[in-house]
Amino acid sequence: MTANELLAACYGWADANASLILIGAAVLPLVGAALARVGKAGKTDADGRMIASAVVGLGIAAFVLELALLVFVRQVLEKDFLEGNSLLLLAPPVFLGLSLATVRWVFPLNELGSVTQAVDIFAFVFACWGVVWLFGRFHWGVVFFGSLAQLGIIAVLGAVLIRRLYTRAFSKRDVAK
């Protein structure tokens, strides 16, 4: 079986079970929030936070995976994602939205490790993207109307910001908080 046949078989299975996948994407956050609520009622709320963080993390991972697959389908396979099953396209955003909405009733989102980790990673990725975009605008060179010291200070501050975002996004910490 080639990779192309495997990809077609996986999509065929998902297309045949699209309604079940969408129902699962809607029910799983509700069940996760209920389990987090039960875990919060114990002696400590660490179990509830871990469950809530896992549910939100799965929602974020599903959404990011869908975006990556849409880019892959568009760029590599040269197909339009609008030709795909709408239920399959709707499942990850529903899963993410419901996981954020239901878990928010149990815990504030800023107290969950998966949310803070995702925000830090996205901030780092967008800062790096901004630097690449900025350098991509200068094809013939950079004209800077200031002193060399000012340019050096701006470069150092930019490097410190990127380094700070990197260490915040990828340092080892307690995800469950």
pLDDT at residue 142 tops 90: no
HSE value, Cβ hemisphere, 13 Å, CA-based, for 173: 16
- Using 50, 70 and 90 to split pLDDT, how confident is the model at 22? very high
Q: Which of 19-28, 53-62, 93-102, 132-141 has the lowest mean pLDDT?
A: 132-141
**Pair 58, 128: CB distance under 8 Å:** no
Per-residue pLDDT tens digits for 111-127: 888 888 888 888 999 98
What percent of the chain clears pLDDT 90, i.e. is strictly above it?
A: 32
Calpha distance 157→7 (Å, rounded): 45
- Using 50, 70 and 90 to split pLDDT, how confident is the model at 144? low
pLDDT at residue 23 tops 90: yes
Annotate 84-97 with b (16+ C-beta within 10 A) or e (fewer): bbebbebbbebbbe
What pLDDT does 154 receive?
Answer: 82
pLDDT at residue 140 tops 90: no
Calpha distance 133→169 (Å, rounded): 21
**Pair 56, 175: CB distance under 8 Å:** no
pLDDT at residue 141 tops 70: no
What pLDDT does 174 receive?
Answer: 56
Phi then psi for residue 138, to 5 deg, are -105, 95
Instruction: Give the position of tokens 């470069």.
Output: 155
Nearest Cα neighbor of 40 from 97, 100, 107 is 107
What is the model's pTM? Answer: 0.76
**Pair 58, 95: CB distance under 8 Å:** yes
pLDDT at residue 176 tops 60: no
Q: Which residue has the higher pLDDT, 121 or 43?
A: 121
